[in-house]
Structure formats: C-alpha cells, structure tokens
Amino acid sequence: MQNTREASRTENAYLESLLAKHEAISGRIDQELKHPAIQESLVKRLKLEKLKIKEQIVHLEGRLN
C-alpha cells in the first residue's frame, strides 16, 4: 500500500510539472506571436512541444483517475 501512495505522489508531482511546463510554453508562444518579426518555425516547434505535453497530461490524468 505504501508503494502505491508513493507512486501516486510521484505521478501527481510529475503531472504538476507537466502542467507548469505546458503553461510556460503557452506564455512563450504568446510572446513570440507579439513580436513584429514572428519566427514561424519557432512558434510551430513550440506548439508541437505543447501538444506533446498535453498528450502526456491527458494520459497521466487518465491513469490517476
């Protein structure tokens, strides 16, 4: 039972880190889109990274619930 609780705490901590990273990337995308000279390739890469993190979040939330 103890190992299950520890695993759950670890997964919750990982989920929180993913959520923070997702939020940070959103902010970075917003910043880049406000630039007069938008770097389309950077924005595209950031959006792809954000999507991958979102997929990880959804998967982990499904395991936790």
Q: Give the per-residue pLDDT at 34.
A: 94
Mean local confidence (pLDDT), 8-20: 94
Print the domain residue range for 42: 2-64
Q: Give the per-residue pLDDT at 6.
A: 78
pLDDT > 80? residue 62: yes
Instruction: Work out how many domains the chain is built from and give that number.
Output: 1
pLDDT > 70? residue 1: no
Mean local confidence (pLDDT), 14-41: 96
Q: What is the mean pLDDT of the chain?
A: 92
User: Which spans in 1-65 are helix H?
Assistant: 2-34, 40-64
Handedness of CA 60, 28, 31, 33 (dihedral sign): negative
C-alpha dist (Å) from residue 19 to 2, 29, 50, 57:
26, 15, 10, 7
State the pTM of this model: 0.85
Report the alpha-carbon distance of residue 37 to residue 55 in Å, rounded: 30
